[in-house]
Amino acid sequence: MAPVTCKLGIVIVSIALVLVEGFAPQRVEGKFKFRTKPIEAASSDSSISFDALQGKRILVVGGSGRVGGSVVTQLVKRGASKVTVGGTNEDRFEQSMSRWIQLFDDLEFVNTVSFESVQREDPASFEKVLQASSYDLVVHTAGPFQGKVTARNGVLEACVANNVAYVDVCDDYCTATAAKTKYQKQAQENGVPCLLSTGCWPGVSSLMAKQLVTKVLEENPKLSPSDLKVDFGFFTAGSGGAGATLLVATFLILAEKALMVVEGRRRPVQAMKEYKTVNFGDVIGDKEIAHLNLLETASVHDVLGVGSVKSLFGTAPGFWNTLLVDFFAGATNAMRCDVTTDKDPTISASLLYGHENLEPCVGECVAAFCCAILSGTVKPGVWFTEEAIQEGDAAAVLGLASVGAHTKEYLGTIDIAAEEMWGTTTSPNLVNA
């Protein structure tokens, strides 16, 4: 059994794409809770901001796809001076460009975005591309990443060898850990920062867990990470507006047992069998979710030392039970992370995140990690997000990643200020029930 795989969401047919920035309902309930409205930038003591993109040249491998395209549009929107789409099919790139221009008629794509033919699995070929242009960063979005443990990652290999910073959206734990093992030493020696498995989940979800685990341990010094439980919940309405690559990834993951970690022991369970009801906030409400084999389960245990971890996922409608699914269900994306401990049942801390549409959500989240690496806060090496982004910077990254979110909430028994979690000084709606 592969320890973990897959990205977010499923795809059958994407009919409607709604790019809507949300609102902040005023109803408040729970022990401690806040929700802030969408913001254009994070405000904290961290140096991470969208300013890091200004004047930068970025190559997005697989940028013609839905995931890569969402990254391209967000990088352009947030100020990158030159974005190059790396791929093998220029006709598909032209089709994507036409779509972006229609969706974002206020952005300049023609003079900002260009195409470059690349062979991502051939390091020598990719090195020529890097050497011909002075890229500040390469973003690898060309999945699926499942089953690539022994395959050569020509993009990462060439970036490490040519001192170019690297970000990817790998959603397979075995593939990611193999890359860390193979390229870590060389990346450190060459001074190249590399971030693996960025995006909403994994990526932002892992930082949500890190924020909560750090705060719970600070407030309860007698506890250790192994005493804690982290429960992830994920929900996508419709296909999330995502692309065919994610459909392939989802088929792959459904064929696997789901990993859960119980008191330090890895335990496989049947995927999508036993459902439970989880609340994702006022806007999205209660949803039915079940075990799925997601990367965070393994990485949060291995990186943060958390004793028990599980990840549950759900869609509306259920998996592939109708066509035209986006037209009827929309493309909502939601994440929830809960931290508790059997050592003291009174301790609880939760973060909730909700976005109207998965496609721009992915781009916003990846762009946030691009800002982190371009700001110089990520040390050389090959890292998962929760080990590379330090505590003081995590809030800033979450603030940038939630720029279009309609829901950003904290629920729990520990009094936590908004800027500690989301990197914003926007006045929170905070209530002690």
Q: What is the pLDDT of residue 318?
A: 60
Please list the residues that pair with 334 across neighbouring strands: 235, 354
**Domain containing residue 58: CATH number:** 3.40.50.720
pLDDT of the residue at 325: 39
Range among 37-41, 147-151, 163-167, 416-420 rated most confident: 163-167
- Per 3-state DSSP, the chain is made up of helix, strand and coil in percentages (nearest 5) of 35, 25, 40
147: pLDDT strictly greater than 50: yes
Question: What does the pLDDT read at residue 106?
Answer: 93
Tally of domains within the chain: 1
Kindly tell me if the per-residue pLDDT of 140 is higher than 60. yes
For 349, the token pair is: 């801390």
Which pLDDT score, from 0 to 100, does residue 349 have? 96
Question: What pLDDT is attached to residue 144?
Answer: 82
**Is position 116 within any domain?**
yes
pLDDT at 328 over 90: no
DSSP code for 294? B
Does residue 139 fall inside a structural domain? yes
* Assigned token pair, 433: 């029930």
CA distance 172 to 337: 20
Phi-psi region of 149 (alpha: psi -120 to 50; beta: other; left: phi over 0): alpha
Per residue in 282-297, pLDDT (tens digit) is 999 999 999 999 999 9
pLDDT digits (tens, 9 = 90+) for 151-202: 889 999 999 999 999 999 999 999 999 999 999 999 999 999 999 999 999 9
Which tens digits make up the pLDDT trace of 8-27?
Answer: 332 222 222 222 222 232 33
326 within a domain of the structure (yes/no): no
On whether residue 208 sits in a domain, the answer given is no
* Domain that residue 149 falls in: 50-196
- Residue 183 inside a domain? The answer is yes
- Specify the pLDDT at position 208: 97
Cα–Cα nearest to 61, from 191, 162, 159 = 159
Say whether pLDDT at 323 is over 80.
Answer: no
Any domain includes 72: yes
- For residue 423, the model assigns a pLDDT of 83
pLDDT at 30 over 50: no
pLDDT for 432 beyond 90? no
CB 164 within 8 A of CB 130: yes
Q: What is the structure's pLDDT at 15?
A: 22
- Please check the confidence at residue 244 and state whether its pLDDT lies above 60: no
**Percent of the chain topping pLDDT 70:** 80
430 pLDDT higher than 90: no
Alpha-carbon gap, residue 229 to 386, rounded angstroms: 16
pLDDT at residue 321 greater than cutoff 90: no
40 and 377 Cβ atoms separated by less than 8 Å: no
| Tokens at 341, concatenated | 């401990």
Whether 429 shows a pLDDT value over 50: the answer reads no
Which residue, chain included where needed, has tokens 């762009």? 367
Say how far apart CA 340 and CA 359 lie, in whole Å: 31
User: pLDDT-based confidence at 317, cuts 50/70/90?
Assistant: low
- The residue that leads in pLDDT, 433 or 104, is 104
**Tokens of residue 211, six digits:** 């924020």
Buried b / exposed e over 371-383, threshold 16 CB at 10 Å, is bbbbbebbebbbb
Cα distance between residue 8 and residue 170, in whole Å = 11
Domain-located, residue 179? yes
241's torsion region: left (phi>0), alpha (psi -120 to 50) or beta?
left
Alpha helices in 162-204 (DSSP H): 173-190
pLDDT band at 316 (very low <50, low <70, confident <90, very high): confident
319 inside domain = no
pLDDT for residue 273: 86
| Rounded average pLDDT over 70-85 | 96
Of 266, 291, 3, 251, residue with least CA distance to 143: 251
pLDDT for 426 equals 40
Q: How high is the mean pLDDT of the chain?
A: 84
> Would the pLDDT of 87 be above 60?
yes
Would you state the pLDDT for residue 203?
A: 97
- Whether the per-residue pLDDT at 7 is higher than 90: the answer is no
Task: Kindly state the average pLDDT of the residues 348-377.
Answer: 96
